[in-house]
Chains A and B, each alone.
Chain A
Amino acid sequence: MKNNDLCRDCGYTDFLGVECAWPSNASLGPSRAELAKRPQRGRRFAAIAALMLALGGFWQIGQAGYIHAKAWLAQALIADAWSRTRDGERQARPWPWADTWPVARLRVPARKVDAYVLAGANGRTIAFGPGHVFGTAAPGEPGNSVIGAHRDTHFAFLQWVRNGDLIELDTHQGRTVRYRINHMEVVDKSDTRPLTQGSPRRELTLVTCYPFDALKAGGPLRYVVSAEEV
């Protein structure tokens, strides 16, 4: 019985029924060159996978670093805009195309916190600094001023503050208002009581996401710290 697998051109019309002089490739087994290459291919694959994983890792860490770098770098740029604001410039923009401007400077001496508060508390603004919620009393003015920021950048310190801690707020007119924390609570984001206006006293409400150690953003809970002028 002829074994077609072992012989080249066995279906050929001139085939005589004897073993071919040239064995087929399949019957020869791996060539020397191939034998030398094969383990290397596996290694290369592993190397590429490792590289991809490393790149992905870099990218992710880069993202995290970007968020923090933005938060930190922007404050440096805002410092300049703030000094211009103090000199009387209205809506001094920290960089030419910014759609926000510093409205106050927030300090918590006990926590070594010092940040410039920007106008507006939308996602775009609070990436750069704490944002003053549009429509609430201007920072340092009578009424309830609400300021929001990220729990993992500018307002990370809120998890350590306690009742009685002091917050200082510099207004753009150069006045410093001192507030004392008197209440802390966790509420749902749709509970707008913290935004309520109407008190004649100077009040400050700091809002950030809760819980502080959550990995991802977008949870429904908010941590609300209320303070009243001393």
Chain B
Amino acid sequence: MNTSADRTVHLPDSPHNQRIARGQRFVDLIAYVLLMFATALGFSVALGGVVLLLASPASAAQSVEAAQIAMKPADARQGTLLFRGDQVASFAVPLLGTEVDIQVSGPLAHTRVVQTFSNPSDAWYEGIYVFPLPDNAAVSRLRMRIGERVVEAEVQERARAQATYQQARRAGQRAALLEQERPNMFTTSVANIGPREQIVIELEYRQTLDYRQTEGAGRYSLRFPMVVGPRYIPGAGADDEEVGAVVAGARIDDALRISPPVLGPAERVLNPVRIRVSLDAGVPIAELNSPFHSVQVIRDGERRRRITLSEGNTPANRDFELTWTLAAGSAPTATLFSEPGEHGRHYALLTLMPPAPFTTAARLPREVIFVVDTSGSMEGESIAQAREALALALRRLDPADRFNVIEFNSDSHALFDDARAASDANVQDAVRWVERLRARGGTEMAGALDKALTGKDRGERVRQVIFLTDGAVGNEQALFTLIQQRLGASRLFTVGIGSAPNSHFMRKAAEAGRGNFTYIGKVDEVKTKMSALFALLEAPMLKNVEVRWPAGARVESWPARVPDLYLGEPIVLAAALDTAAGEIEISGDAGELRWTTSVSLADANPGTGIGSLWARQKIDALMDRLNTGSSEEEVRAAVVPLAVEHHLASRYTSFVAVDRSPARPAESRLEGGAMPTNMPHGWDHQAVFGELPRGATDSRWHLLLGSALLALAFALWLAMARRTDNSSLAH
């Protein structure tokens, strides 16, 4: 539009003046650009300084926490979580499917686990699978099935069984081996699975179910674990004098055996499990509950239920739990099963519910030490559950109580130097501290236990240690020993956190600590479970339990000494005796009352597998001697004949089955080995196995983008300037 010439500024249009104008403009431009860069740089430096000095009031709050953490550089060492990362991606074969059939009758369960190893490839394979079972499982049978052929496994001393297996493996014969790594952790090895072949391993175990009575209602719980979470293997902390000498024994030999490869975060979950439970409670069932899996329940009368998973199968990545409450008033006070054994022996299993202790004495003030596991394995859902549980527990403290909170990962840190009164201000401090806990690093439990069990003598005060953890450690034995040695007048209560807690650790640590254990598997459960725990902590106990067997009978009963019982806990006794008649008389101090009851052996229900349960109890008791300084040889010598006689798997005895017919031709190689397991549900892969630090910023990207934008702005400005030029020149 040339009309615009009317209002534009008139320049004298001599060529000389034009040149001058252009030159000026160019200089202007350069100056502008320089100014832009200088300003941007100055601005950014100033901004950097300001942000550095003023930023993040949030982290200002953290410094309080950090100030209390006294990290000594010298003990920032850690062991290794053995993980062979890259090998995991290339496993594929063999594949595993598991079927579980659980038959419950009253307080007993008989379970058949069928593991199908299938080889879809054209090569010969070996599969080694690490899996969990309930920590009180008496594994009494193993069979290997190849098509129609069935090979019954025999129990052999562990080293011999391993040799038998290795020999068959080399000879190309199909073979299966079941070894116990921990009471709740087993390994199945299957050799020479032919191309496109399946080998089925069937194992059977019996167990007694966990029974508790709360407010008159009896409640059974059945837990079937499906995955072994990665365990932390403690490093050599032995030279750290402050931690105590017991740590020196913390190194463990079977680290590799208990650390199967774990699936990466991007991989699809493996190992589908199908679960069927056929439940006969013996008395009417009021309520049935499966907190972690959706189930289909078929009602079969008042006492019986059939339970299957709604989705058919589930990946093996978390515990399956089933709890049932008995109808009010129908809970039996005593159940007695007996089974005749060899040589005129009889086995008996007695579960007896004592009356709730009664006392008029005022509640003693307590000193409660909370210990919370903040290692990498707790990251994710577990730490959220633990934080919630802790906050709840802290708020329940009485102002007369004293308390402290200890968190541990590769190191342990206490909130206060010493236990403090549970005043409102202190509790608020603690709650805030707990809310900021993050989970990372290793699981050096010994140091934390040591700190928790070391305390000033408070005279009348009851000292209770509440230990929240997933128990993902490999040095259980050393920890039990430590607890036993350092316990003193304290009592240790374990709270198993997360989707796959180490049940063996929970139970045995509580036993060594003369306390009790409970589980929290999801945040919804925190309130009920912690309230139950607190009711238990505050209630008087049943003490000095005495058992009198029929006069003249030769009896061997386990546990040898009945521990003091917490509110709602039953007395469970397994005995071998030479008579099937007579009375068992049990008495105890229930608060201020002396309580006595008797059960007649003649009234016992016939039961199967009572002998294995008795033997399993005895092995348990023998293994406990390791905590009190008995040597491994001594314990082994006692356990092996017992396990062989009762056909049980134990730490020192394994099941081995060999199919004598040769299968793999000598020229074919045997592939495979350790089979990967899933990461337990809700665990964070990176927090457990670590990751290399990230080491890059976006600064270059910002610089490029910024320069591009400035260039664009400059171009636009230039275009504008030129047009103004043109229009003025066109005049």
Point out residues on A near B: beta carbons under 8 Å: 35-36, 38-39, 43, 46-47, 49-54, 56-70, 73-74, 77, 90-91, 93, 95-99, 103, 119, 121-124, 126-127, 131, 133-138, 141, 143, 146, 148-153, 155, 172, 187, 189-198, 207-209, 214-219, 222-224
Contact = CB atoms under 8 A, between A and B. Distances in A.
Given A91-B67, A224-B692, 11 more contacts: A53-B716, A60-B706, A65-B45, A69-B49, A121-B693, A124-B59, A152-B699, A191-B86, A191-B692, A215-B700, A217-B696
B713 A51 contact: yes
A53 B709 contact: yes
Nearest to B37: A61
Nearest to A97: B60
Interface string B29-68: 0000000110111011101110111001101101100110
Contacts of B47: 62, 65-66, 69
A64 to B, nearest CB: 4
Given A43-B720, A61-B710, A135-B441, A99 B698 contact: no
A196 B697 contact: no
A157 to B, nearest CB: 13
A65 B264 contact: no
Interface residues of B, number: 79
Given A62-B47, A65-B41, A54 B709 contact: yes
B76 A134 contact: yes
B1 interface: yes
7 contacts: A35-B1, A46-B716, A61-B37, A69-B45, A91-B66, A192-B691, A216-B696
A138 B6 contact: no
A63 B39 contact: no
Nearest to A46: B720
Q: Is the interface of B mostly helix, strand, loop or mixed?
A: helix
A56 B709 contact: yes
A207 B695 contact: yes
Given A54-B710, A58-B706, A215 B701 contact: yes
Interface stretch (B77-85, B330-338, B484-492, B513-521): B77-85
Given A36-B7, A46-B719, A65-B48, A133 B693 contact: yes
A126 B692 CA distance: 13
Contact of B697 (A93, A153, A189): A153
B74 interface: yes
Given A54-B710, A61-B710, A69-B44, A222 B3 contact: no
Given A35-B3, A60-B706, A215-B701, A197 B77 contact: yes
A189 B720 contact: no
Nearest to B43: A62
Contacts of A38: 1
Interface of B: 1, 3-4, 6-7, 36-37, 39-41, 43-45, 47-49, 51-53, 56-57, 59-60, 62-63, 66-67, 70-71, 73-74, 76-80, 83, 85-86, 235, 264, 410, 440-442, 686, 689-714, 716-717, 719-720, 723-724, 727
Contact of B43 (A52, A58, A70, A214): A58
A53 B689 contact: no
Given A57-B708, A60-B705, A68 B699 contact: yes
B710 A53 contact: yes
Contacts of B59: 97-99, 124
Contact of A61 (B3, B44, B66, B83): B44
A99 B65 CA distance: 9
A49 B43 CA distance: 22
A153 B40 CA distance: 19
Contacts of A62: 40, 43-44, 47, 706
Contacts, number: 254
A154 to B, nearest CB: 9
Nearest to B235: A197
Nearest to A149: B695
Contact of A135 (B76, B719, B727): B76
A96 B60 contact: yes
Contact of B48 (A66, A138, A207): A66
Contact of A99 (B7, B66, B79): B66
A208 B695 contact: yes
Contacts of B712: 53, 57
A126 B235 CA distance: 27
B70 A209 contact: no
Contacts of B723: 43
B35 to A, nearest CB: 11
Contacts of A195: 690, 692
A147 to B, nearest CB: 8
Contacts of B1: 35, 38-39
A65 B77 contact: no
B63 A97 contact: yes
A45 to B, nearest CB: 10
A57 B694 contact: no
Contacts of A123: 694
B698 A217 contact: yes
A70 B51 contact: yes
A198 B80 contact: yes
A120 B702 CA distance: 26
A191 B51 contact: no
A104 to B, nearest CB: 9
Nearest to B727: A39
B200 to A, nearest CB: 35
Contacts of A155: 695
Contact of A189 (B70, B76, B694, B711): B694
B44 A65 contact: yes
Contacts of B697: 67, 127, 150, 152-153, 217
B73 A138 contact: yes
Contacts of A93: 63
Nearest to A211: B696
Contacts of B57: 97
A20 B121 CA distance: 96
B471 to A, nearest CB: 20
Contacts of A223: 695
A124 to B, nearest CB: 8
Contacts of B689: 190, 192
Nearest to A215: B701
A132 to B, nearest CB: 9
A172 to B, nearest CB: 8
A134 B44 contact: no
A50 B696 contact: no
A50 B720 contact: yes
Q: Which 6 residue pairs of A and B lie closest in terms of their CB atoms, listed nearest first?
A: A65-B44, A148-B693, A69-B48, A60-B706, A57-B709, A61-B706
A127 B51 CA distance: 13
B49 A73 contact: yes
A93 B698 CA distance: 27
A192 B695 contact: no
Nearest to A216: B701
A208 B697 CA distance: 11
A215 B698 CA distance: 7
A135 B410 contact: yes
B691 A135 contact: no
Contacts of B80: 196-198
Contact of A50 (B37, B56, B717, B724): B717
B43 A208 contact: no
A119 B66 CA distance: 12
Nearest to B45: A69
A135 B44 contact: no
A61 B691 contact: no
Given A58-B39, A121-B693, A63 B77 contact: no
A131 B693 CA distance: 9
Nearest to B46: A69
Contacts of B86: 191
A105 B332 CA distance: 70
A208 to B, nearest CB: 4
A191 B266 CA distance: 14
A222 B695 CA distance: 8
A130 to B, nearest CB: 9
Given A57-B708, A58-B40, A192-B689, A218 B56 contact: no
